[in-house]
């Protein structure tokens, strides 16, 4: 992983985990301010996802042209997936996103595993791809469990 990628990863992790609190704790935000902020967040999330999709496509092209490390392409795709999951509230949509990520990782792993001769793809790269693939499989199963629990809660609420 290159230094700029590492720095961006650390900054992203810090910003996404930092607590957000209003400056003036004595006055709660007005409802219209909250709605406006929620709308702005959705717009920014859409822009971020679009940029990350373009970055992922570019990284894959560079990887296949042997001009980028597998780790960087993998990082681009996982960052995109995280952004998509953050922007999605529906568990069924999350499952679809995770499944798409799994399919992408599988295709990348198959491509990387099939390379012969001089290339920048190493056995370690292939193992990292497989590990990410398994990580996404775990996320998928957890999402399925959450979806099933949500459906159970909805059924319980409907019972008189």
117: left (phi > 0), else alpha (psi -120 to 50), else beta? Answer: left
- Domain borders along the chain are 35-158
pTM beyond 0.75, yes or no: no
Which pLDDT value is given to residue 128? Answer: 87
Q: Which of 16-20, 95-99, 123-127, 152-156 has the lowest mean pLDDT?
A: 16-20
Q: Compute the average pLDDT of residues 63-87.
A: 90
Q: Compute the average pLDDT of residues 54-67.
A: 90
88, two tokens: 């999605």
CA 142 to chain CA centroid, nearest Å: 15
Report CA-CA distances (Å) from 115 to 5, 31, 76, 110, 151: 25, 56, 21, 9, 44
């Amino acid at each position: 992983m290159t230094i700029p990628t590492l720095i961006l990863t650390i900054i992203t992790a810090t910003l996404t985990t930092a607590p957000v609190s209003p400056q003036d704790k004595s006055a709660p935000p007005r409802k219209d301010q909250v709605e406006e902020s929620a709308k702005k967040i959705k717009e920014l999330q859409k822009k971020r996802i679009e940029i990350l999709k373009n970055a992922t496509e570019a990284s894959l092209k560079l990887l296949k042209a042997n001009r980028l490390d597998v780790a960087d392409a993998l990082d681009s795709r996982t960052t995109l997936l995280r952004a998509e999951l953050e922007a999605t509230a529906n568990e069924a949509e999350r499952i679809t996103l995770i499944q798409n990520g799994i399919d992408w990782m599988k295709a990348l792993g198959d491509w990387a595993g099939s390379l012969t001769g001089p290339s920048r793809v190493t056995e370690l790269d292939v193992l990292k791809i497989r590990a990410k693939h398994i990580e996404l499989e775990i996320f998928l199963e957890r999402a399925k469990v959450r979806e099933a629990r949500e459906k159970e809660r909805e059924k319980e609420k409907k019972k008189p």
